[in-house]
A and B are shown apart, each in its own frame.
Chain A
Amino acid sequence: MKRSDRDAAYVEFVESRQTRLRRAAYAICGDWHRAEDLLQTALTKLYVAWPRLAREGGEDAYVRRILVSTHLDNVKRASYRREVVGADADLVHAAQTGRVDDRDALITALQRLPEMQRRVVVLRHVLDLSVEQTAADLGISAGTVKSHHSRGVARLQELLTDQTVKEDRR
């Protein structure tokens, strides 16, 4: 593949996928700037692997996996973990003061889910992946995806309802 062909195919890929991928990154990490960084890292790694992926296919799955694993790497860093704890505190504080609007509430609530539940919910609801695709991306069984999904969604409902009730009482 000529470099110009590779670049053109890559640009087309980025243009057609970036919005959805960035939303997924945002839902996973809870911050647009960090989401932008995550996406940039994933797309750069995608470009490096592009010749192989163009031959074998699987560009979408590859970039999704990188997105998730890069976030996981970040989470493992202590400083990042502290910020996530801060985000939890924000939700509690916001729920108490009623200053969180709907759009922030969902993303903030997502950050309170255990890592795997959050990833499953994001892959299923933001990227519209099937149970099987989600299982393949995360390297877990379809049954485990279903169980993480139902627990994650239930917990989100709980968190959001709780917040809605608190806001209604004000």
Chain B
Amino acid sequence: MIDLQERFDQAWAGEPAPMDARQQLAVAHRGLRRRRMVVATGVLGVVAVLGGSLAAAGGVPGLDREPPAGSAYAAHSKPGEVEVKLAQTPQELEQISSDANAGYTSDGRVIVRPGWKVTQQIDDTWVSEGSDRSIALEIAKDTTGEKEWYYLEWGPDGRSVNQSWPRENPGLTLREWAPDKNGHRERP
């Protein structure tokens, strides 16, 4: 009769060194970011479908849509106090996602790519676990006026979560859209 337990103990002889738990933590942080992106993208998809249906049906009474023509900010939003700067250097641009036109730098500043300007901004209104601050932005491309929405969060380790949405969205304001992700709640 073979002693199975003894054979198992022998089986671990060639075992590689254990990984650094901090390294695993970094991997887990990336996993969490990916998860949030997926969740938010799913929510956006549902909202887009529902919104499209509502728009097709004539919209929802009382729901604000586009900001007033000619206004830099939507009716619900006040100009933000957080300074959003144009990226000045390639090093700054490298700190935001390559497919994003706005984002947090690793030291917590908010930048937008050259060629874009902020047209709506809501500062620090929502929080999620582990984040220190947040900002919702609508930015517009200088040349075409094309608009994108971003919701950004920043954590003490330089973690940021961002989502964008072309402005051709149905039935929501930036203020309605921004917290509708990943269980965010109003900052008390």
A19's nearest neighbour on chain B, judged by CB, is: B18
Q: Are A14 and B24 in contact (CB under 8 A)?
A: yes
Query: Cα distance A164–B2 when bound, in Å?
Result: 10
Contact residues in A for B156 (Cβ distance below 8 Å) = 3-4
Contact with A along B16-60 (1 / 0, CB 8 A): 101101101101111110010000000000000000000000000
Query: Cα distance A102–B129 when bound, in Å?
Result: 49
Q: Are B27 and A40 in contact (CB under 8 A)?
A: yes
Option from B12, B21, B28, B155 in Cβ contact (under 8 Å) with A44: B28
Contact residues in B for A153 (Cβ distance below 8 Å) = 4
Query: Cα distance A40–B23 when bound, in Å?
Result: 10
Assign chain B's interface to a size class.
Answer: 20 to 34
Contact residues in A for B25 (Cβ distance below 8 Å) = 7, 10-11, 14, 47
Q: Are B2 and A15 in contact (CB under 8 A)?
A: no
Q: Is the interface of A mostly helix, strand, loop or mixed?
A: helix
Known contacts A3-B155, A125-B5, A164-B2; is-contact A32 B130 (Cβ 8 Å): no
Q: Are A1 and B129 in contact (CB under 8 A)?
A: yes
Known contacts A125-B4, A156-B4, A161-B2; is-contact A11 B22 (Cβ 8 Å): yes
Contact with B along A134-170 (1 / 0, CB 8 A): 0000000000000000000100110011001000000
A12's nearest neighbour on chain B, judged by CB, is: B21
Q: Are B15 and A23 in contact (CB under 8 A)?
A: yes
Q: Are B8 and A32 in contact (CB under 8 A)?
A: no
Option from A14, A19, A160 in Cβ contact (under 8 Å) with B2: A160
Option from B8, B10, B14, B24 in Cβ contact (under 8 Å) with A40: B24
Q: Is the interface of B mostly helix, strand, loop or mixed?
A: helix
Q: Are B8 and A125 in contact (CB under 8 A)?
A: yes
Query: Cα distance A126–B11 when bound, in Å?
Result: 11
A15's nearest neighbour on chain B, judged by CB, is: B21
Q: Are B13 and A103 in contact (CB under 8 A)?
A: yes
B2's nearest neighbour on chain A, judged by CB, is: A160
Q: Are B24 and A43 in contact (CB under 8 A)?
A: yes
Known contacts A51-B129, A157-B2; is-contact A45 B31 (Cβ 8 Å): yes
Contact residues in A for B24 (Cβ distance below 8 Å) = 11, 14, 18, 40, 43-44
Contact residues in B for A156 (Cβ distance below 8 Å) = 2, 4
Q: Is A6 located at the chain interface by the 8 A CB criterion?
A: yes
Contact residues in B for A47 (Cβ distance below 8 Å) = 25, 28-29, 31-32
Query: Cα distance A18–B5 when bound, in Å?
Result: 20
B residues sitting closer than 8 Å to A (CB atoms) are 1-2, 4-5, 7-8, 10-16, 18-19, 21-22, 24-25, 27-32, 35, 129-131, 155-156
User: 30 A-B residue contacts at CB 8 Å?
Assistant: A3-B130, A6-B129, A6-B130, A7-B25, A14-B21, A22-B18, A23-B15, A27-B8, A32-B15, A36-B19, A40-B27, A43-B24, A43-B27, A44-B24, A44-B28, A46-B28, A47-B25, A47-B31, A51-B129, A102-B10, A103-B7, A103-B10, A103-B11, A103-B14, A105-B7, A107-B11, A125-B4, A157-B4, A160-B2, A161-B2
A residues sitting closer than 8 Å to B (CB atoms) are 1-4, 6-7, 10-11, 14-15, 18-19, 22-23, 26-27, 32, 36, 40, 43-48, 51, 102-107, 125-126, 153, 156-157, 160-161, 164
